Structure 1
Amino acid sequence: MSKDILFEIGLEEIPARFIRAAMEQLQDRTSKWLDSVRITHAGVTAYATPRRLAVFVKDAAEKQEDISEEVKGPSRKIALDANGDWSKAALGFARSQGVSPEQFTFKELAGVEYIYATRNSAGVETASLLSEGLLEIVNAMTFPKNMRWGAYDFKFVRPIRWLVALFGKDIIDLEITDVKAGNVSRGHRFLGTETVISEPAQYVESLRAQHVLVDVKEREDLILKQINHLAEEKNWTIAIKEDLLEEVLFLVETPTVLFGTFDPSFLNIPQDVLITSMREHQRYFPVFDAAGKLLPFFVTVRNGNAVSLDVIAKGNEKVLRARLSDAKFFYQEDQKMKINDALAKLENIVYHEELGSVGDKVRRIRQISDRLAVKLGLSDTALSEVSRTADICKFDLVTQMVYEFPELQGTMGEDYARKAGEPETVAKAIFEHYQPRFAGDAVPSTDAGSVVSIADKIDTIVGCFSIGIIPTGSQDPYALRRQAAGIVQIVLEHKLPITLREIFEAAIEIHKNSGNSKHSDDELRINLYEFFSLRVKRLLSDNVRYDVVDAVTAAGFDDVVDVVGRSRALMGAVLDQEDFKITVDSLTRVSNLAAKATSEGIDPSLLKEDAELQLYNTWQELHTPYLEAMSANNAEEALRILSGLKDAVTAFFDSVMVMAEDEQVRANRLALLAGIDADSKAFADFGKLVW
């Protein structure tokens, strides 16, 4: 026999950003608890709205499963004394398992006989476990921020106002902070009333009747359906940003989509300003025409029904008008400021107490950018654009618009720089130097944007490392991992002819000259390489097996373009060539013996046997083309050439005694293998591949 379980925690409004994780946590903890106490069921479903978290367990067994398990005890030698009677150890084992010694059996394990006891445990009624179990689940839940209320020591995401706890039609005896569980839930705050949940299976429909859609997927589908219908009806394109949809989804219990309008004169403000104000401050969805031009409309979602939508729209329009009026004022005032005046104000903004002001950071960015630009061999025009971009890349941080909307840094810099008469490339690069802002974001398209972006990011990373701020575990307050990944992404996508070491050295030297560093240059390099190795490995692991990643990075990852090429070539060889394992085995055997080499010089006159002469000649023939292919980042060709050694290596090991008695011959053969191994290790450590 089975019954359904319903557990609903009614709360004051939960922050939208906490709800999905809390819902999933409640579902996961409930499922794990049921498994731990051996209550079978047909699945756990979670529900959530701004005012509730709930789980529904379908067909939970009315009784725990009975268990019968065999427990191993002492060996026969220890369990029996010299007279064949049970020893104290055996009797103690019997008491601990709740059995009599007569129930023992003997079984052999690894050549030794042990006593075994069979312990039977009858399952108890599920109803007797639920009260304590649900309380355990609630107490175990964690949130980004907790609250205490009244005189209670109990902490939760928000104060608990009601509880519904049912096992079938029976109410579970449960009480938290003087709130006693029952079968009465609450509907929509304004449209609904209290409602009795007579049994768990009626939960969704009972609350639907009280204007609450507890099913998160149903609410999301309804929002999207209404938005898409409105877009089709008006011939609009309504931009649905996933994080905004997620937030709106957990702000409403009964979603109703509506639209409003704003004064078209506000469209003279940059489009990004209007979009940001609507999305970030008002939780509105912006509206575009077919060409992608912003229209003077917005779409929002009401937590209620369709009654008096025109009144609701007017209220939203009034609030938005005030927001956009502020933005318009800031925009007009900012344009009165000269770029040089803005740069002077950066000197008064502390970047970090140990790393100076934002003005100091800008000067470091300029110095690093200039060095990287020279390394990349940019034209004189590009060098000039890099320098100017670096000089003014942060000037918009002191504008009123960026103060009000921090997420518009770079966006406003581009707009204001263009209006101030800066070259188009420089204006664009000011925006681009923040890219990529997040995983999947575009990289800068201009040379100036790419160089200054790398300079800005490596200055932050080296600066933090130099004063001891290195990410550990999940702690990364300065987003150094994201910035390192951004550097790797820029170098890779533009195939920049620059190594990580050259990037590191430019920043290390600048910070060393500023006197900020608490670590030696060598310590910084070690920490930086270790930090970036994880970023490179993570990049490679998206499309490459872990063992291939380990193999190619062991050969070096300083050249990001090169290591990506080698990983793809090796992955292709591992997957597509059945005989490639023979090549790998040959090169691995070469590597194992090469480790014993004591000299690098090879004397051809000491190569007497046909197989070793053939190996030497084959290697000499392939060595130069192999190095040329590696130098040209043609990894597939380099691997093909390296694979050409396979037959000669196999013949060598089949007929030549490497560890010859003659010391000179032995050393010469090992030196030959060491030379081949050096070529092989420049591509990958093939011994790390797993077959």
Structure 2
Amino acid sequence: MTDFLLELRSEEIPARMQERAREDLAKLFAAELDKAGLKAAEIVTYATPRRLALIARGLPEQTAAMSEESKGPRTSAPPQALEGFLRKTGLTQDQLVERDGVYFAVVNKPGRATAAVIAEAVPAVIRAFAWPKSMRWGAPSQSTESPRWVRPLQGIVAILGEEVVPFEVAGVQSGVATVGHRFHHPGIITIGSADDYVEKLRMCHVVVDGAERRNIIALGAKMAAKKAGLTLIEDEGLLFENAGLTEWPVPLLGRFDESFLEVPPEVIQLTARVNQKYFVCSDASGKLANAFVCTANIDPSDDGAKIVEGNQKVLAARLSDAKFFYDTDLKTRLGDLQPKLEKIVFHEKLGTVADKVERVAKLAEWLASEGIVSNCDPRLARRAAELAKADLVTGMVGEFPELQGLMGGYYAAAQGEDPAVAEAVRDHYKPVGQGDDVPTAPTTVAVSLADKLDTLAAFFTIDERPTGSKDPFALRRAVLGVIRLVIVNDLRFGLLKPLFQACADIHFRQQRSPIDRVWPAIAEYEAISRKLIDRDDFFRLMQSATDRANEDAARYVEEGVTDSRVLFAFFADRLKVQQREAGVRHDLIDAVFALGGEDDLVRLLARVHALQAFVTTEDGANLLAGYKRAANILKKEEWVDVEAKPLTYEPLPEEADLIAALDAAEPIATVAIQREDFAGAMAALATLRGPIDAFFEKVTVNDPDPAKRSARLALLARMRDAVHKVADFARIDG
């Protein structure tokens, strides 16, 4: 067994591509080995800004002999079929093997040297490599068949054991030579084998392991901050990026002018992170400090003084720009920015952002006034919604779009808006992702809910719905946001009603309101009247225009109802997915949804969770078994529910016991369901377990006597219907 080392050295690889490239290199190389019947005991990959490397351990010296078999035509097939098979395989008829009247071609392939396999595999890997962005270079780039790489390849190291594996890619010949750090050790390094690769490069100021570089940066940055009496604000994404930009990372702490702290801390952190790749720090009170940590790619002789000085100047310029945007934005009130929203298209079929703001404001006010969001002042909800999107046209959000909402909140607070309004403007996009905070302040909840419901209604009314893996308008995320808002805030309402409000409003606005369509008619007919049009004709035409407008209004309502139902079905599907991911059985979710008519998400989920707890008990499992037996009998007999009639015969004891148990359990279960005590309802139904078991054991349902048969089927239907008040047990597995 031996080890193989591959290093592909190039000009700088973007940091964001390095981790994916490591994974792809391992997968592609392993796949090429697998084609030849080779398998490494372990494959390790590394990435730095200038190199992508792989070490495959435990490779055999050659591949095992292989036998390939391909099936041919039957022996009774026409000669032409046999001739075609022989041409395909390159064999003669006497070399074929006959089994069960079918020809087979069996080709034995001897083992190959592993080095020969690798010499073919690596060029194939390079040709198949799917970089997000790649390029051609040099004279070969004149042909579209030339190899592509993320940046021009400069060197290839390929060593199996202690021997070079010879091959050439894009004019670069494989060998044993590489280079160290660009400044500390730019000269040639000779690699002896895979065993000395990592340490030899470390001696030349190159840390090839990305995880090790990340640890160096994380620890060094924390220690630099701690030495200054500060705490590093950790950022895993920034940690990966800094590790991807350096081969010999050295964290250094710098300072910026305290006057910049007048700018919101998120702006400072984003400026440092996005533009300069710096970490920031907090002081003992938890507030942002006027300090940052940058990562140098050299070991400076002056402890980094000149590097820090240069970085401080660059950051100061960036923060000056940010402060200018902030101060300039504060000079214009958010309310005065509304006209600019009329120039931003939200969607070609849905109008401008100003149109969306108007819809959201109306819906937020309605949610508050209807009590759907309790303890919410409708006036504040409308005001917050009217201001929520205004920061989209500010200088700061133009520079940093990810600050939308947040900056609006700062501006609203600075301009004297009600604190509830400022908070709603700041947080109305939340929750954005699964781990995001869910707003609980009533005004914020109303605006956030209205914004997401309007987005969903808008795109559903124009048939821009998610399909498969495509969801360009993030509607699935919007649905999950609504669900989380409802559940966390325990909002008790039927979801169909606000969905209808939103959908109908979209239809209404798309076609203009009926009265808007009447007024042009009035103007037209008034102009005609000046030419002495007949008075009766004028009023007849006016009535016709009014009738058409009323018909439009009715159509808007009908379309709103249809779209709201389709949209609710979409909500139901996403809720099922969310609950399955949370560990709830899919069949139990289906069992509750199958009841229909339930659009209160909180109540619906309470029913699902109570059902999951119940069916895992012995009583629940036995009741389910009894229910399924009853349902199967009713289905087999094609029972049609009829009004229950008094018994005309003396019931058997087991029959009477089941009737008595139903008489006792049904009222208790009904009251419990009305109180939304679903666990109590199921406990009441669990008392049916013994009587239903005894009934099936002692009572013949299909009695020859039609009266007995009908009464007993009706009794089973009664038992089934009692259980259906909780869930459709027919959809539960087991």
In the alignment, the residues of structure 2 paired with residue 648 and residue 547 of structure 1 have an alpha-carbon distance, to the nearest angstrom, of 26
1:172-571 mapped onto 2 (5 Å cutoff): 172-193=165-186, 194-308=188-302, 309-378=304-373, 382-515=377-510, 520-521=559-560, 524-525=563-564, 527-540=566-579, 541-555=581-595, 558-571=599-612
Whether the 8 Å CA contact 1:191–1:210 is kept in 2: the answer is: yes
Q: 1:546 to 1:117 in 2, by over 3 A?
A: farther
Unaligned runs of 5+ in 1: 82-87, 107-112
Specify the code of the residue in structure 2 equivalent to 1:214. Answer: V
Shift of 1:231: 3.3
Corresponding residue number in structure 2 for 1:599 = 641
List per-residue Cα deviations over 1:431-452 (Å, max 9, x = no partner). Answer: 1211112221101121111121
Partner residue in 1 for 2:658: 615
Q: Judge conservation of contact 2:615–2:624 (CA < 8 Å) in 1.
A: no
Q: Indicate conservation of the 8 Å contact 1:566/1:635, yes or no.
A: yes
CA offsets per residue over residues 37-58 of structure 1, 9 Å max, x none? 3213211111111222222100
Q: Give the residue type in structure 1 aligned to 2:259.
A: S
Pairwise CA distance, 1:387: 1.9
2:647 aligned counterpart, secondary structure? helix
Q: Secondary structure at the match of 1:45?
A: strand
Structure 2 contact 367–373 (Cα < 8 Å) conserved: no
Contact 1:152/1:177 (8 A) holds in 2: no
The alignment covers a number of residue pairs equal to 674
TM-score computed with the length of structure 1 as normaliser: 0.88
Letter in 2 for 1:137: V
How much is the aligned-residue C-alpha RMSD, in angstroms?
3.5
TM-score computed with the length of structure 2 as normaliser: 0.83
SS in 1 for 2:430: coil
Question: Which deviates further from its counterpart, 173-182 or 477-486?
Answer: 173-182
In 2, the alpha carbon distance for the partners of 1:687 and 1:123 equals: 60
| 2:131 pairs with 1:147 | no
Find out whether 1:24 has 2:23 as its counterpart: yes
Change (3 A) 1:49 1:475: farther
CA distance in 2, matches of 1:663, 1:383: 64
Q: Which amino acid aligns with 1:263?
A: D
Residues 373 and 446 of structure 2 are in contact (CA less than 8 Å); yes or no, is this contact kept in structure 1? Answer: no
**Unmatched runs of 5 consecutive residues or more in structure 2:** 512-555
1:611 Cα deviation from its structure 2 partner = 3.2
Structure 2 residue matching 1:603: 3-state secondary structure: coil
**Offset at residue 381 of structure 1 (A):** 5.5
Distance in 1, matches of 2:732 and 2:94, equals 55
Deviation at 1:103, TM superposition (A): 8.2
The 3 A distance-change label for structure 1 pair 414 and 654 is same
Give the CA deviation at 1:497: 0.3
Report which stretch shifted further, 642-651 or 659-668. 659-668
Bigger Cα displacement from structure 2, 392-401 vs 25-34: 25-34
Hey, what's the Cα distance between the residues in 2 that align with 1:277 and 1:616?
74
- 1:379-423 CA-partner distances (Å, limit 9, x unpaired): 675222222212221121121111112111111111111122211
- Paired with 2:654 and 2:94, the residues of 1 have a C-alpha distance of 74
Aligned equivalent of 2:544? none
1:624 is aligned, of 657, 667, 679, to 667
- The reply on whether 1:589 has 2:577 as its aligned counterpart is no
Percent identity of equivalent pairs:
35
Please state how far the C-alpha of 1:364 moved relative to its aligned partner: 0.9
Q: In 1, Cα distance between the equivalents of 2:611 and 2:639? A: 27
Tell me the alpha carbon deviations over residues 484-536 of structure 1, each in whole angstroms, 9 at most, x when there is no partner: 1111111111111023323422221111212279x954663464244323421
**Which whole-Å CA distance do the structure 1 matches of 2:102 and 2:726 have between them?**
54
Change (3 A) 1:124 1:280: same
Which one is further off, 577-586 or 209-218?
577-586
Sort the Cα spacing of 1:601 and 1:356 in 2 relative to 1 into closer, same or farther, 3 A: same
Displacement after TM superposition at 1:313 (Å) = 0.8
**Is the alpha carbon distance of 1:579 and 1:621 closer, same or farther for their aligned partners in structure 2, counting shifts above 3 Å?**
closer
What secondary structure does 1:354 align onto? Answer: coil
Once residues 593 and 152 of structure 1 are traced to their aligned partners in structure 2, the CA distance between those partners, rounded to angstroms, is: 74
How far did 1:67 drift?
A: 5.0
Contact 1:433 1:449 in 2 (8 A): yes
Could you say if the C-alpha distance between residues 609 and 275 of structure 1 is closer, same or farther in structure 2, counting changes exceeding 3 Å? same
